[in-house]
Amino acid sequence: MPSNATGTSTDIITDMFAYEFMRNAFVAAGIVAVVAGLTGFFLVMRGQTFAGHALSHVGFAGATGAGLIGLSAIWGLIGFSLAASIVMGLMSERISSRDVAIGVVLALALGFGLLFMHYHTAFASQATALLFGNVLAVDHTTIAILVGLALVTLLSLAAIMRPLIFASLQPELAEAKGVPLRFVSTAFLAIVALAVAASAQIVGVLLVFALMVGPPAAAQRLATGLWAGLAVAAALALIEAWGGLVVAYYTDWPVSFCIAALSALGYFAALATPRRTVLTHNHG
């Protein structure tokens, strides 16, 4: 990618979008950013960010395992993440207060990923892309998969939105009213697993937090209510994803680093502002 540009701002933008890989990258990053921002908002609100991080590492083991047996890495990533999310959801009452257990699972998952790579050394370059992302290599097939993941994720999130909000903000009252907390928790973590699988295609499993936690956490400090918070989270994720692509294009820095840096800047800027959100956090 060029590290400098000349001409008017219009020429600069036209030049950037003259390349198909950049157009594909913007489409893919835009899809994933919206999904990550909306899903991550509830992940942060429920205090389950570490569980989401663990899912990304479990997904890495699934992706490397899929490569070992000749399957596409993304399907292994989705499959393992979904399986782990269901187990974690069924254990929700205990796992929310057991970060040590999640950390052990996280380390074990990475260990399995390394073991699978040991027996499939040709997968090493793909594994690097999985760990740190490679949005500039996204093709039309991957975009189609991301569109499918986005639709399933957002429709599923919409389907459980009301009980999820109730269970997140007032769990005791929700349980007394008959809301199936375990089912809601399991369904939500399955949704998170799909969002993690999509985000990993852009920023890699090690930097999933850049899109799924940074923008939503900033939004919860800036917003004054649920719907405004969701809108701000999605908008921030989109700005940071696209902004990261622009910065990377003109500096030749890694895209994932640029997105992660903008995410951190956005979060710390939000920290410097007075907290305005009316949402409360729940770690149950």
Whole-model pTM: value is: 0.85
Residue 106: its pLDDT value, please? 74
pLDDT along the chain (284 residues), means of 10: 51 79 95 96 90 84 83 86 84 55 74 78 68 87 94 97 91 88 90 93 86 94 92 97 95 93 95 68 44
Query: 4 — phi, psi (to 5°)?
Result: -145, 165
How far, in Å, CA of 57 to CA of 44, rounded?
A: 18
Residue 68: its pLDDT value, please? 79
How far, in Å, CA of 35 to CA of 175, rounded?
A: 28
Q: Are 47 and 282 in contact (CB under 8 A)?
A: yes
Q: Are 187 and 156 in contact (CB under 8 A)?
A: yes
How far, in Å, CA of 96 to CA of 89, rounded?
A: 10
Domains and CATH numbers, the chain: 9-271 (1.10.3470.10)
Q: Read off the pLDDT of residues 152-165 as tens digits, 9 standing for 90 and up.
A: 999 999 999 999 99
Residue 226 structure tokens:
């649920």
Count CB atoms within 10 A of the CB of residue 17.
10
Residue with tokens 């991957």: 142
Count CB atoms within 10 A of the CB of residue 224.
12
Residue with tokens 């998969």: 145
Q: How open is the CA angle 204-223-226, to the nearest 5 degrees?
A: 85
Q: Are 201 and 146 in contact (CB under 8 A)?
A: yes
Percent of the chain beyond pLDDT 70?
A: 85
How far, in Å, CA of 105 to CA of 277, rounded?
A: 33
The mean predicted confidence, pLDDT, of the chain is 85
* Helix locations, the chain, DSSP H: 9-16, 20-45, 49-68, 73-90, 92-95, 99-118, 124-132, 140-159, 161-169, 171-176, 181-203, 209-212, 214-222, 226-251, 255-271
- Spatial neighbors of 178 by CB under 8 A, at least 6 apart, are none
Identify the DSSP state of 275: P
